Amino acid sequence: MSSPINSTIIQKLDSLDSEYAAIRRQQEIETRALEKTYEAKYQPLFSERSKVIAEGGVPEFWLTVLKNTANFGPEIDDHDKEALQYLVDIQAEEIPGEKEEDLIAGLKITFVFNENPFFENKSLSKTYHFSEVNDMLRHEIKCIDSDT
C-alpha cells in the first residue's frame, strides 16, 4: 500500500514540468526558425532540379526516387508505375499555424505531371493536417499467471 504524497512535492514536480514545457516550446520555435532559414536556401536548388528534370535530364526521375524509398517503394504497383512515368515534380508546401510562433499546422504535397493518358489533371495534391494530440500505439500486455 502506498503512502499519501505530500502536496508540496506534487507542486514542485508540476512546476518543474511547466519549466520543462516552456523550454521545450522555445526550442521548437528556435528550431523552426532555423529550418525556415535553410528552406529558403533550398528553394532555388529545388527549382533548378525541376528545370533539369522537365527538360528530360533524367527519364522517370521521380518514379525512380519513389520506388527507392522505404515508405513508398513497396506501395507502388505496376499500374502505379505507368502513371508515375509522367511525374515531373513533387512539391511540398507547409501550412502555417495560426500565429507566427506556431509550428506548422500541416503539409500539402503536390505531384505535377506531364500530359498523360491516365488523368486530365496537371497536378494532384494531398493535404495533411497535423494535430498536437499524440496518437499512441498501444500494445497488449501479456501477464504472467501468478499463483503464488
Domain boundaries, given as residue ranges, for the chain: 9-129
Local structure of residue 89 (DSSP, 8 states)? E
Predicted confidence (pLDDT) per residue in 70-91, tens digit = 988 999 999 899 999 999 999 9
Give the Cα separation of 67 and 70 in Å (integer). Answer: 8
> What are the distances in angstroms from CA 137 to CA 128, 132, 134, 140?
20, 16, 10, 10
In which band, very low, low, confident or very high, does the pLDDT at 145 lie, cut at 50, 70 and 90? confident
Predicted confidence (pLDDT) per residue in 7-26, tens digit = 899 999 999 999 999 999 99
Does CATH number 2.60.40 belong to domain 9-129?
no
Give the Cα separation of 87 and 93 in Å (integer). Answer: 18
